[in-house]
């Protein structure tokens, strides 16, 4: 049986859009995109908490072929980024390819037909020759269970599942967590709430963002001279690479960003005890570096407090910390992040000999080759798969680089008969992952801290332990010898 489409893409976040645009650029228009929600957007659709914005500059955090001269700020907010994604879809006529409200529940590689059979939650089946999974890593909220949680009578809301019906005006609010989401929520809600308590478990390194509105003059310049915006994009990329240097090399230069962050803290927090409470005890970069101009100043407001004692339990009316008394809250915000490193996309994905990808990842830790292809799972590409993240630059750059590799893969596939499939050699994947794990030695990510970069076994399955330019180089060329070309059940 032939395929319904040449390509299937799961996900319509930035990964899905970048994949679709690359297919179009290759002249491939036979593709279908699956989206479980009623609107496109991935993480930029889901994260609608107050203050949600990108901590990478918009001139870089955008698709290279889709410049936007109209970004309103250096760092754009969620509504603007989401609108940008919708504009990209409209401009490139992607909507007819997208099936909204469609959750892919299973993807089986049918060896005898060399197609992927996709099943969705409506029971519908779709066959595609090649499958691209673009589901991202930050979409499973981490919802810790605190003792007595169920008896709390107020509202509990996770930052990634924000409810627009919750009105925080005049309320007593607790925010649990001080990660990238919390540091945006806290300054955004502080002006309207009656009382705000922020529960910090581990202080984070925070550097200033220096965000500002983009002038009409500058927008005009970008509109009239696109090369100027491309230059700015490159400048930001290389400046970020420079800052990433201290992450990937064991160097005393790491002290420079730490001193910068300490200066930022001292500038805004005058109380020595509060300053101490905000001072991290791990090396900058080991956890995601946070970027904010307004988080620290918020703690100078009289109704905002930092709590550092561990939370003991939730009560009917609030919560209690170890050694403390009950604190009363109307709303408790869990800004407690995501389960990212134990990747589970919630799809039954089976490859050759019925191998189950999610089961294998669960038992052995997530692994791929260049975060993009997986041995035993032919004609499959991952957009932002295991070990593709970085702590210092734009993940959109990583995804665009990956799609260059996928284009090579498609070219190789196309030189074969239509029933052929490409299977990554197991030894190539295993050697790559051994090398990758040794590359962590001496980087900041092995300097000793606990973060969402590590899975339950303590293995880092999310970070690519080099600069983006190295990743770009690594995926620049596909070596055909890394793959076994198979035709139906015979091997060449
Ligand atoms: P996060 O960085 O993992 O932060 C979670 C916070 O919750 C941490 O402070 C953590 O403390 C705390 N926490 C977790 N479980 C807890 C518990 N049981 N008790 C007390 N505290 C607990 O999550 P996030 O802030 O949602 O950010 C996740 C990632 O999303 C970021 O690193 C970033 O990559 C991305 N993000 C990006 C943007 C952007 O601007 N582009 C914005 C938001 C998020 P510990 O540190 O002690 O674990």
Given 266, 301, 334, the domain boundary residue is: 334
222 C-beta closer than 6 A to ligand 1: no
Which of 58, 162, 177 most suits a substitution to test ligand 1, by most atoms within 8 Å of the C-beta? 177
pLDDT digits (tens, 9 = 90+) for 423-470: 999 999 999 999 999 999 999 999 999 999 999 999 999 999 999 999
- Residues 273, 417: one domain? no
Give the integer Cα–Cα distance in Å for 74 and 56.
Answer: 9
The residue count of the chain comes to 492
How many domains does the chain fold into?
Answer: 2
- Residues 132, 157: one domain? no
Ligand 1 atom closest to Cα of 201?
47
pLDDT digits (tens, 9 = 90+) for 219-230: 999 999 999 999
Is the pTM higher than 0.75? yes
**Given a cut of 90, is residue 271 above it in pLDDT?**
yes
Q: Residue 2: its pLDDT value, please?
A: 86
Q: What is the domain-level CATH number for residue 264?
A: 3.50.50.60
Give the integer Cα–Cα distance in Å for 277 and 262.
Answer: 12
Q: Is 228 part of a structural domain of the chain?
A: no
Q: Three-state SS for 79?
A: helix
Q: Is 281 part of a structural domain of the chain?
A: yes
Q: Residue 145: its pLDDT value, please?
A: 97
Q: Which domain holds residue 181?
A: 149-212+253-334
User: Going by DSSP bridges, is the β-strand pair 304-307/290-291 parallel, antiparallel, or unpaired?
Assistant: unpaired
- Stretch 292-314: mean pLDDT: 98
Q: Three-state SS for 297?
A: helix
**Given a cut of 90, is residue 349 above it in pLDDT?**
yes
Q: Residue 209: its pLDDT value, please?
A: 96
- Residues 344, 384: one domain? yes
DSSP-assigned letter for residue 288: P
Ligand 1 atom closest to Cα of 180?
25
Q: Residue 1: its pLDDT value, please?
A: 62
- Stretch 109-138: mean pLDDT: 96
> CB-based burial of residue 215 (10 Å sphere; 0-12 exposed, 13-18 middle, 19+ buried)?
exposed
176 C-beta closer than 6 A to ligand 1: yes
81 C-beta closer than 6 A to ligand 1: no
Closest CA to ligand 1's atom 4: 179
Ligand 1 centre to CA of 336 (Å) is 5
- Residues 297, 165: one domain? yes
- Stretch 339-348: mean pLDDT: 96
Q: State the virtual CA torsion across 20, 226, 59, 189 in degrees, nearest 10.
A: -100
Give the integer Cα–Cα distance in Å for 197 and 334.
Answer: 12
pLDDT digits (tens, 9 = 90+) for 19-71: 999 999 999 999 999 999 999 999 999 999 999 999 999 999 999 999 999 99
Closest CA to ligand 1's atom 14: 336
Ligand 1 centre to CA of 347 (Å) is 25
Given 334, 355, 376, the domain boundary residue is: 334
**pLDDT grade for 248, boundaries at 50, 70 and 90:** very high
């Amino acid at each position: 049986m032939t395929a319904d489409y040449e390509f299937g893409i799961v996900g319509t976040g930035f990964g899905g859009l970048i994949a679709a645009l690359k297919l179009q650029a290759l002249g491939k228009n036979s593709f279908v995109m699956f989206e479980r929600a009623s609107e496109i957007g991935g993480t930029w659709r889901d994260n609608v908490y107050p203050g949600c914005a990108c901590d990478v500059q918009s001139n870089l955090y955008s698709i290279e072929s889709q410049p936007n001269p109209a970004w309103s700020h250096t760092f754009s907010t969620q509504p603007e980024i989401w609108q940008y994604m919708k504009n990209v879809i409209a401009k490139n006529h992607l909507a007819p390819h997208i099936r909204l409200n469609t959750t892919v529940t299973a993807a089986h590689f049918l060896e005898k037909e060399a197609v992927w059979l996709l099943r969705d939650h409506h029971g519908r089946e779709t066959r595609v020759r090649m499958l691209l999974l673009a589901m991202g890593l930050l979409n499973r909220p981490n919802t810790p269970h605190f003792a007595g949680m169920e008896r709390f009578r107020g509202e509990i809301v996770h930052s990634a599942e924000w409810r627009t019906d919750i009105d925080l005006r005049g309320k007593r609010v607790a925010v649990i967590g001080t990660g990238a989401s919390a540091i945006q929520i806290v300054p955004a809600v502080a002006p309207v709430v009656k009382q705000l308590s922020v529960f910090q478990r581990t202080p984070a390194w925070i550097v200033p963002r220096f965000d500002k509105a983009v002038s009409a003059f500058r927008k005009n310049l970008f509109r009239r001279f696109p090369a100027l915006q491309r230059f700015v994009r490159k400048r930001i990329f290389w400046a970020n690479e420079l800052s990433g240097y201290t992450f990937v090399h064991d160097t005393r230069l790491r002290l420079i960003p730490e001193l910068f962050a300490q200066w930022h803290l001292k500038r805004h927090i005058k109380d020595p005890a509060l300053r101490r409470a905000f001072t991290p005890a791990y090396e900058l970069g080991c956890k995601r570096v946070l970027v904010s101009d307004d988080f620290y100043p918020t703690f100078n407001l009289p109704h905002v407090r930092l709590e550092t004692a561990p939370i003991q339990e939730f009560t009917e009316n609030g919560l209690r910390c170890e050694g403390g008394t009950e604190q009363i809250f109307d709303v408790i915000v869990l800004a407690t992040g995501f389960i990212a490193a134990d990747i589970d996309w919630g799809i039954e994905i089976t490859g050759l000999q019925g191998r189950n990808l999610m089961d294998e990842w669960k038992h052995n830790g997530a692994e791929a080759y260049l975060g993009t292809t997986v041995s035993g799972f032919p004609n499959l590409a991952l957009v932002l798969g295991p070990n593709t993240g970085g702590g210092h630059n734009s993940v959109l750059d990583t995804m665009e680089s990956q799609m260059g590799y996928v284009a090579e893969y498609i070219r190789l596939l196309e030189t074969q008969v239509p029933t052929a499939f490409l299977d990554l050699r197991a030894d190539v994947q295993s050697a790559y992952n051994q090398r990758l794990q040794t590359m962590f030695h001496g980087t900041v990510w092995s300097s000793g801290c606990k973060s969402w970069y590590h899975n339950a076994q303590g293995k880092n399955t999310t970070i690519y332990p080099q600069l983006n330019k190295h990743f770009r180089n690594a995926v620049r060329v596909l070596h055909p010898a890394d793959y076994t070309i198979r035709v139906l059940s015979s091997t060449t």
